[in-house]
A and B are shown apart, each in its own frame.
Chain A
Amino acid sequence: MTVRIEINGRVYEGEVEPRTLLSDFIRHRAGLTGTHVGCEHGVCGACTVQLDGEPMRSCLMLAVQADGLSVRTVEDLAGPGGELSPLQQAFTDHHALQCGFCTAGFLMTADALLRRRRAEPIGEAEIREELAGNLCRCTGYEGIVAAVRAAAAH
C-alpha cells in the first residue's frame, strides 16, 4: 500500500506492507533514527512521537493508519542550526539522561505536556504522572523531573 506521511513538516511517501509499524516507517523509510524502539508493545515509551500534538506510541500504530496524518519526532525539537530547545537544554543542564535510549520518548512526552499547559504552572505530581508512561533505567528519574520542571518555569 502507498502511504504519504508528513513527518516534521516534510512528506514521506512509500510502499509499505499493512503490518509495517509507524515506528519502523519513521526509522527505516524516513531515516529518522532519533525515535528509538524499545519494547515494541507499548510499555516502555521510548518510541513516543506526537500525532497532531498529542503524545502517542509509534510502535502501536500501523504506518498505513498514519497515511495523510502529521507526525512530529524528536528531530523537530532543535532549531534549524541545531541549537537545543529549552527543554533539551534543561535535560542537559539537569543530567536528565545517561545512555540516552529513552530520551527521545521522554522529550516528546514532556514537550506535549508543556505545549498543552503553556502559561499554566505545572506541579511536580502532574509531571511525574505524565512521565509515568516512559521508562528510564539509568537516571532514577530525578534529573528528568527536575529538567521538565525547569523547562516549565522557562
Chain B
Amino acid sequence: MKPAPFRYEAPRSLPDALALLDGEDARALAGGQSLVPMLNFRLAWPELIVDLNQVSELAYLQVCDGALRIGALARQATLHRSDVVAAGWPLLTAAVAHVGHAAIRTRGTVGGSVAHADPAAELPVALTALDARFHLRSRDGERTLSAAELFQGALTTALAPGELLREIEVPAPVPGARTAFLEQARTHGDFAVAGVAALVAPGAHAAIALLGAAAVPVRAVAAERALLDGASAGEVARLAAADVPDHYRRALLTTLTERALERVMA
C-alpha cells in the first residue's frame, strides 16, 4: 500500500526541527524502518513529517568522559561496526546484530528504535541493562529520563508532543563486567519472542534486562540481587522469569537467562 498524503519538511538544525515538531500532528522521521511501514499500511497518517536526516548535529556516536553518547541520528549499522562500542559496550554490539537485517540497519537509527518502543525491540532492552540515560529536548528545554521512566508501554514512551529524543547516554563500562545478549525469534532477524541482556561483574555489579516479559523492557531486580548474593545461574534465571504470566515466554526467558548467565559467569 501507499502512504496517505502528508506535508514534508527536512530541517537542517535542531531548533528548526523542534519548532516544526511543536505543531499539531507532526511525526519525526529518522531511519524510517518502522514509521514508513506504518505509513505504507496507513496505520499512521500524520499531517506533517519532520525528516531529521539532514539535522547533521544529531548524527554522532562518541565517547565523552568515559560515557558513550549516541546522537538521535546514529545509524544501527554505525553502532554495529564501531570498534569503540565493541570494546567498551559489547552488549550493544551483540544486541544490534539482532535488529532486522543489514539493509534495515543501514537506515535504522538507535534513537528510532528507542522512540518507537516496540516491545520486541532489542536496543531498548540492552540500554535498560546498561542504565542508559535518555536526553529529551523540546522548545521548552531539556530533561533526562531513565529507561524505567521513558518506556511506558507498547509503542508508548514518556516523550511528549513536540519533544524529541536528542541523545542516549550510556555510562562508562563497568570494570571487569562480562555481557551477553540472547534472544529467541522464529527466524534470524524476525521479531523476538523473548530475549535477555545480562551484564555481570562478579561480586560487584549485576544487571539483567528481559525482552518479552512485558510490553516494556523489565529489569529483573530480585534476580540481580540473588546473583550478587551468590545464587546459581539456574536459581537466578528462575527468579528472573518468575513473574512472567505467559507459560511459553516464561520457559524461554528462564532458559535464555540461564544460558546468558553461564556465559558471563564462566
Which residues of A come within 8 Å of B, CB atoms? 1, 17-19, 21, 24, 40-42, 45, 48, 51, 54-57, 59-62, 64-65, 109, 112-113, 129-130, 132-134
- With beta carbons under 8 angstroms apart, the residue of B2, B8, B188 that contacts A1 is B8
Q: Identify whether the interface residues of A are mostly helix, strand, loop, or mixed.
A: mixed
CB of B204 closer than 8 Å to a CB of A: no
Q: Which residues of B contact A1 (CB under 8 A)?
A: 8
- CB closest residue in chain B, given A108: B103
Q: Mark B154-187, 1 if CB is under 8 A from A, else 0.
A: 0000000000000000000000000000000001
- CB closest residue in chain A, given B51: A65
Interface size of B by CB at 8 A reads 30
Q: Please tell me if the beta carbons of B101 and A40 are within 8 angstroms of each other in the complex.
A: no
Q: Please tell me if the beta carbons of B51 and A19 are within 8 angstroms of each other in the complex.
A: no
A55-B102, A57-B104 known; A17+B5 contact, CB < 8 A:
yes
The complex places the Cα of A42 from the Cα of B7 at a distance, in Å, of: 23
The complex places the Cα of A70 from the Cα of B61 at a distance, in Å, of: 24
Which residues of B come within 8 Å of A, CB atoms? 1-8, 10, 32-33, 36-37, 39-41, 49, 51, 53, 77, 100-104, 106-107, 187-189
Q: Please tell me if the beta carbons of B107 and A60 are within 8 angstroms of each other in the complex.
A: yes
- A21 → B minimal CB distance (Å): 7
Q: Please tell me if the beta carbons of B37 and A41 are within 8 angstroms of each other in the complex.
A: yes
The complex places the Cα of A40 from the Cα of B53 at a distance, in Å, of: 21
The complex places the Cα of A134 from the Cα of B6 at a distance, in Å, of: 30
Q: Which residues of A contact B103 (CB under 8 A)?
A: 45, 48, 54-57, 109, 133
Q: Please tell me if the beta carbons of A57 and B5 are within 8 angstroms of each other in the complex.
A: no
The complex places the Cα of A151 from the Cα of B38 at a distance, in Å, of: 37
Q: Which residues of A contact B1 (CB under 8 A)?
A: 40
